[in-house]
Amino acid sequence: MDIENTQRLRETLKKLEEAFRRYNVPGKDQSALRAIQQLCVGLKGENDYITEKASRIATLAGIYYSARYETHPGGETDLMSEMSFQLPNVIRSQISRLERLQGDAEV
């Protein structure tokens, strides 16, 4: 993965964080769901691990931005924490790992 792709992924993560701040109320919200899912699509395709985590974020968003959040184990707080904090941090770590590997390959 080259530096342009890692920068694009980091920018997409930043936009995702902004979207979660904007859409921070659980419940049926199709515009929030579309925005989050579109950003998740932007994270996919460069790395299988990142694609898997982006898919998980999109899945959790489908629960959070519907009435199903009420029956989710851990409730809305756990959903928001996983999709807006934990998973993006895991993706960030993977991007850093890929950058290190790219740097090592150039040496």
18 within 8 A of 39, measured Cβ to Cβ = no
User: pTM for this structure?
Assistant: 0.93
Mean confidence (pLDDT) of the chain: 94
Convert the pLDDT of each residue in 38-73 to its tens digit: 999 999 998 999 999 999 999 999 999 999 999 999
Residue 2 has pLDDT above 60, yes or no: yes
96/8 Cα distance (integer angstroms): 13
